[in-house]
Amino acid sequence: MPNLAINGGEPTRTESFPSWPTLDPADIEAFENIYNSGRWGVGGTNVPEFAKQFAEFQGAKYGVCVNSGTSALYIALKAAEVGPGDEVITSPYTFQATVVVILMTHAVPVFVDTAPDSFLLDVSKIEEAITEKTKAILPVHIAGYPADLDGLTEISDKHNLKLIEDCAQAHGAEWRGKGVGSWGDFGCFSFQSSKNLCAGEGGIILTNDRELYERTYALHNCGRTPPEAEFGNIEPFGGNFRMTEWQASILLSRLTRLEEETNHRHMNMRWLDGWFGEIPGIKVTRIDPRATRCGSHGYKAIFDSEEFEGISRARFLEAMRAEGIPIGYWYTTPMYRATFLKSNLFGQNLDYNDFHCPETEKICQSGLAFSQNVLMGNVRDMEDIIKATMKIRRNVNELKDDT
């Protein structure tokens, strides 16, 4: 009689995990208020109010709301005056937007490997990648795990580089008790549907620098400076990247729940770390003790096939899913292998053919991931994840023939 569900045994669970986005009547009320006000865009109060509240939430002085996380990164690069021929240091383990925005400014992405078992930029390798063309560092707080902001600020200060944090996945994340996105020159967030704070689409750029704020504001709003502008010398260059009042109303409503939800996900994440840490073959992500709170946009770990008698990651995932656990992986290809980098689309002549980041290549092959909605589950949901993993390990012989 097989034990594993993939072979016809009883699955660990059949109930689904919490779905996303969560629905709340307060969101509908906020939305209706906008409808009834007739102020759906420019001139409304929700966009500036959300910019203020979210900046405060992350510990930054200023916020400029935009229509997506991609726009936020693009505008931050433009405000940092990154342009043709400049180099921007970034992580190869990220979503394509991080790299596409660099190309959109006609700059060159320079990839630095991730640290072993962390999915995050290896700060100890950044300085050797700096050249006289380097203009900015664009680290990614992937899945909400904060990158080493002490190291990053030290290097960017020392070399006079702009630090642009990609916080698209890191709402609520904190480094030494202070929100990510408030450490660098700019912090860029996304409010796209899957994100921990979402409005379908949307983004924000945070900064602590008044002049950078005004430049960012002008870039996102057709060259117009903010009403209370102090710097009159801003070029009236800019497009329309504005957020609507609809988006801001939903975001304001959902922001009231973000603190509690972030703590809930973080607690589940650490609970899973504790248990996975006891299971040979599942390596938990190394979290720096200075990363005082993770945004937990997802849960990440590393699969060690050898400890599972040589079965492939794909086979393990299939078996877990049959047990009722919605586990997967994130990026399977380092960004320097993205086909758009070969297309010469933005006039760059880039060749990464012989370029390798060994640690990133390893995690692309062996990473495991749960999305954030799984971390919204209760204690029993988390227990089922561990039970299913232990069950597979105990019965791994049942999986060996097909590997």
Ligand X SMILES: Cc1ncc(COP(=O)(O)O)c(C=O)c1O
- Residues of this chain that interact with ligand X (CB under 6 A) are 68-70, 94-95, 97-98, 140, 166, 168-169, 190, 192, 203
DSSP assignment letter at 190: E
* CB contact at 8 A, 60 and 258: no
**Least separation in angstroms between CB 80 and ligand X:** 16
Q: How far is the CB of 292 from ligand X (least distance, A)?
A: 21
When the beta carbons of 137 and 234 are compared against ligand X, the nearer one is: 137
12 within 8 A of 387, measured Cβ to Cβ = yes
| CB of 166 vs ligand X, minimal distance in Å | 5
Nearer CB in complex with ligand X: 371/389? 371
**Least CB distance to ligand X at residue 244 (A):** 14
> What's the token pair of residue 376?
């919204």
Ramachandran category for residue 243: left, alpha or beta (phi over 0 → left; psi -120 to 50 → alpha): beta
Question: What's the token pair of residue 218?
Answer: 């002008």
Nearer to ligand X, 92 or 203 (CB): 203
- Kindly tell me which of 140 and 248 has the beta carbon lying closer to ligand X: 140
Q: For ligand X, which is the closer residue by CB, 9 or 239?
A: 239
Q: Which residue is nearest to ligand X (CB)?
A: 69
99/78 Cα distance (integer angstroms): 14
As a whole number of angstroms, the distance between CA 294 and CA 117 comes to: 16
Least distance from ligand X to the Cβ atom of residue 98, Å: 5
Question: How many whole angstroms separate alpha carbon 288 and alpha carbon 343?
Answer: 38
Of 5 and 140, nearer to ligand X (C-beta) is 140
Q: For the chain, give the number of residues.
A: 403
Instruction: Say which residues have a Cβ less than 8 Å from residue 400's Cβ, sequence separation at least 6.
Output: 309, 310, 311
CB of 192 to ligand X, least distance (A): 4
Strands (E), 346-397: 367-371
Q: Which is nearer to ligand X, 169 or 225 (CB)?
A: 169
CB atoms within 10 A of CB 11: 16
If the CB atoms of residues 190 and 373 are measured against ligand X, the closer one turns out to be: 190
Torsion angle of C-alpha atoms 94, 95, 100, 101, degrees rounded to 10: -80
The smaller minimum CB distance to ligand X, of residues 172 and 281, is found at 172
* Pick 138 or 368: Cβ nearer ligand X: 138
- Least separation in angstroms between residue 372's CB and ligand X is 12
Cβ 60 to ligand X shortest distance, Å: 18
Q: Shortest distance, CB of residue 5 to ligand X, whole angstroms?
A: 32
Kindly state the smallest distance separating residue 68's Cβ from ligand X, in Å: 4
User: What phi and psi, each to the nearest 5 degrees, are found at residue 371?
Assistant: -85, 165
Are the beta carbons of 397 and 7 closer than 8 angstroms? no
Q: What does the DSSP assignment read for 33-74? A: HHHHH---STT-SHHHHHHHHHHHHHT-SEEEEES-HHHHHH
Q: What is the 3-state secondary structure (H, E, C) of 317-351?
A: HHHHHHCCCCCECCCCCCHHHCHHHHCCCCCCCCC
What DSSP letter does each residue of 124-141 carry, written as one string? GGTGGG--TTEEEEE-B-
